């Protein structure tokens, strides 16, 4: 592969309807190349902002014929930095942001440039939603293709379980439609196999009656109470109705007006919960969490579903350095909780967080072979997010890696790959498991034998 040239950009301009930006475009180029994770400050040779399927075809064909590397960007939230590139072509899908809701059929067609905040806004007017990201700025596209874990997953499965059909452009520039009945093997691969097989230009998703008001929010405590609160959370979750989403966060208390001043900047522990049944029944459904110990802050209340979806937006802005690792737990034993607390207490940055959440329910209903993803029956998962703006990268990355190593004895494989900054071949293989990995390789051989789409959680074609 070679770097992009003036001739390549000229070739692209002749067949591309959307905007094309280069470093000559100054601030607009800089805005367009910025991604969520500031560790990836890349300078693409050109940014092609696709406006339609034809633009996606044109970008792929020009990049292929010029043998130039290409990255695909939707919401730009890849913590592994897949959605940007130095020197090559960045295909930016953000202008393709249509949303067509069929409220009576409970389906929605979504362009690849749409974020979860935009999609929720369009569907919530009709009291509908599907499992979406826990932050409004995350893109629908990368999220769905990589699994899609959200507040609604215990009730309605992962986002990829709600995918009904997709249209994509393959490495040879063909537009292919895929669903359970049309190109079903490709459809199987798209539900967790990431961006390996082409550029998806439309997702059709199932939506469900949700909200617009739900009951939920957060309870905040001093960190010292974390061991007993974690145990209570585990016991509360043993027999959990699907209408409840629950988890906890080890964080540093923000200097927000709703936080008592004595907690500002101090290690804290938050329990988050949502009840998707009748909001009037919410206080009863969550009382065992609220009444266990008196919280310093009690934000459990009837709230709009969109507010729940935005709960962590303010605490996790773009532009900081991020290094992430996650894993699944088969249970939450006392010794696992003690290890979590110990690791959280050694965090090297006040912005870093550890999250533990309950999965299961509808996620576990989907048969193991129905999608490439495994690990569906694991009831708990954790995220260790190293997030910083100051200090040496090595120190903060080291904390995440040491945390992963010390929690490993209690983990099981299968955590979806969207939650890792480091994804090597071994992780891709072991996450899918050898049998399903080989099924993905067969798809890769068929749709992308030269591995043109490789800035992703890469499935390598047999030819290497
Ligand atoms: C702040 C934050 C919060 C998050 N919260 C959650 C969460 O609650 N649940 C969860 O499951 N995940 C979450 N994630 C992880 C998230 O799902 C992934 O980072 C996902 O890739 C984001 O999608 P995107 O469209 O923004 O990605 P992008 O960075 O735009 O794309 C990532 C990669 O996905 C592939 N891709 C994207 N669009 C297409 C397309 N149209 N066709 C083919 N391939 C494509 C490409 O390989 C691309 O490089 C979060 C990430 C961040 C940074």
Sheet bearing 19-21, strands edge to edge:
19-21, 46-49, 89-92, 70-73
pLDDT less than 70: residues of the chain: 1-2, 464
From 59, 85, 142, give the residue whose CB has the most ligand 1 atoms within 8 Å, as the site to mutate: 142
Instruction: Please choose, from the candidates 29, 121, 42, 130, the residue with its C-alpha nearest in 3D space to the C-alpha of residue 83.
Output: 42
**For ligand 1, atom 13, which residue shows the shortest CA distance?**
133
Rounded to 10°, the helix 425-432/434-447 angle is: 110
Fill in the DSSP letter of residue 277: S
Domains parsed from the chain with CATH numbers? 6-92 (3.30.43.10), 99-210 (3.30.465.10), 213-419 (3.40.462.20)
Residue 426, helix vs strand vs coil: helix
Residue 419 CA to ligand 1 centre (angstroms)? 9
Interatomic CA distance for residues 216 and 274, integer angstroms: 4
Distance 422 CA to ligand 1 centre (A): 15
- Determine the pLDDT at residue 1: 54
Q: Among 143, 191, 319, 455, which is best to mutate for testing ligand 1, by the most ligand atoms less than 8 A from CB?
A: 143
174 is written with which tokens?
A: 């063909």
Q: From ligand 1's centre to the CA of 78, what distance in Å?
A: 5
Would you state the pLDDT for residue 464? 67
d(CA 129, CA 316): 23
Probe ligand 1: pick from 72, 129, 189, max atoms within 8 Å of CB? 72
pLDDT in tens, 198-243: 999 999 999 999 999 999 999 999 999 999 999 999 999 999 999 9
Q: Which long-range contacts (CB under 8 A, 24 or more apart) does 94-101 make?
A: 94/49, 95/18, 95/19, 95/49, 95/50, 95/51, 96/50, 96/51, 96/52, 96/201, 101/126, 101/128, 101/207
Length of the chain: 464
Longest dimension (CA), the chain: 67
Other C-beta atoms closer than 10 Å to the C-beta of 67 total 11
Q: Which residues contact 391 (CB under 8 A, 6 or more apart)?
A: 348, 349
- 169 C-beta closer than 6 A to ligand 1: no
- Residue 239's Cβ-count burial label (10 Å; 0-12, 13-18, 19+) is exposed
- pLDDT score at 331: 93
pLDDT in tens, 320-345: 999 999 999 999 999 999 999 999 99
Please give the number of the atom of ligand 1 that sits closest to the Cα of 134.
8
The Cα–Cα gap between 463 and 444 comes to 10
- 180 Cα: distance to centroid of ligand 1 (angstroms): 23
Angle subtended at Cα 208 by Cα 298 and Cα 373, rounded to the nearest 5 degrees: 90
Distance CA 163, CA 145 (A): 9
Return d(Cα 268, Cα 297) in angstroms, integer: 11
CA-to-CA distance for 105 and 179, rounded, in angstroms?
Answer: 17
pLDDT score recorded for residue 427: 96
Q: Does residue 383 have a cis peptide bond before it, meaning omega lies within 30 degrees of 0?
A: no
Which are the contacts of 209, defined by CB distance < 8 A and separation ≥ 6? Answer: 127, 128
Check if 36 has its Cβ closer than 6 Å to any atom of ligand 1.
yes
C-alpha triplet 47, 48, 50: angle, nearest 5°: 145
Collapsed DSSP state (helix, strand, coil) of residue 108: strand
Q: Whose CA is nearest to atom 53 of ligand 1?
A: 77
326 and 147 in contact (C-beta within 8 Å)?
Answer: no
Q: With a 6 A CB cut-off, is 83 part of the ligand 1 pocket?
A: yes
Q: Are strands 107-110 and 199-206 parallel, antiparallel or unpaired?
A: antiparallel
3-state secondary structure of 101: strand
Q: Report whether residue 134 contacts ligand 1, using a CB cutoff of 6 Å.
A: yes
Angle between the N-to-C axes of helices 334-344 and 226-236, in degrees from 0 to 180, rounded to the nearest 10: 140
Q: What is the pLDDT of residue 168?
A: 98
Specify the pTM.
Answer: 0.97
Ligand 1 near 74 CB (within 6 A)? yes
């Amino acid at each position: 592969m070679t770097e992009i040239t003036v001739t390549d950009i000229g070739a692209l301009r002749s067949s591309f309807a959307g905007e094309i930006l280069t470093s000559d475009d100054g601030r607009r180029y800089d805005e367009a190349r910025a991604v969520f994770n500031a560790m990836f400050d890349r300078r693409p040779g050109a940014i092609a902002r696709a406006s339609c399927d034809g633009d996606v075809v044109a970008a792929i064909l020009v990049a292929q014929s010029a043998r130039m590397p290409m990255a695909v960007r939707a919401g730009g939230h890849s913590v592994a930095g897949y959605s940007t590139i130095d020197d090559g072509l960045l295909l930016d899908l953000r202008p393709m942001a249509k949303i067509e809701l069929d409220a009576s059929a409970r389906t929605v067609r979504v362009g690849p440039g749409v974020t979860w905040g935009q999609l929720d806004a369009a569907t919530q007017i009709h009291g509908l939603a599907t499992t979406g990201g826990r932050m409004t700025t995350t893109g629908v596209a990368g999220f769905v293709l990589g699994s899609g874990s959200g507040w609604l997953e215990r009730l309605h499965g992962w986002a990829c379980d709600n995918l009904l059909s997709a249209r994509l452009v393959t490495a040879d520039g063909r537009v292919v439609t895929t669903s359970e009945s049309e190109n079903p093997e490709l459809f199987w691969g798209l539900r967790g196999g990431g961006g390996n097989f082409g550029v998806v230009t439309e997702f059709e998703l199932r939506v469900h009656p949700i909200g617009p008001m739900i009951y939920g929010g957060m309870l905040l405590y001093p960190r010292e109470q974390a061991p007993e609160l974690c145990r209570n959370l585990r016991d509360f979750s043993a027999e959990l109705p699907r209408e409840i989403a629950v988890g906890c966060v080890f964080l540093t208390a923000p200097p927000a007006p709703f936080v008592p001043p004595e907690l500002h900047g101090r290690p804290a522990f938050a329990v988050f919960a949502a009840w998707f049944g009748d909001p009037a029944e919410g206080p009863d459904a969550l009382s065992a969490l609220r009444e266990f110990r008196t919280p310093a802050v009690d934000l459990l209340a009837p709230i709009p579903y969109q507010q729940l979806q935005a709960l962590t937006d303010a605490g996790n802005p773009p532009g900081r350095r991020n290094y992430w690792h996650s894993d699944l737990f088969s249970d939450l034993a006392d010794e696992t909780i003690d290890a979590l607390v110990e690791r959280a207490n050694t965090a090297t940055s006040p912005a870093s967080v550890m999250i533990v959440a309950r999965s299961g329910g509808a996620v576990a209903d989907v048969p193991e072979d129905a999608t490439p993803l495994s690990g569906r029956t694991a009831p708990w998962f954790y995220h260790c997010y190293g997030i910083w703006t100051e200090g040496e990268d090595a120190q903060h990355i080291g904390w995440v890696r040491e945390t992963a190593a010390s929690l490993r004895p209690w983990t099981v494989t299968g955590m979806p790959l969207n939650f890792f900054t480091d994804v090597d071949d071994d992780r891709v293989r072991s996450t899918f498991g050898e049998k399903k990995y080989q099924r993905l390789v067969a798809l890769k051989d068929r749709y992308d034998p030269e591995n043109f789409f490789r800035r992703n959680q890469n499935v390598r074609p047999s030819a290497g």
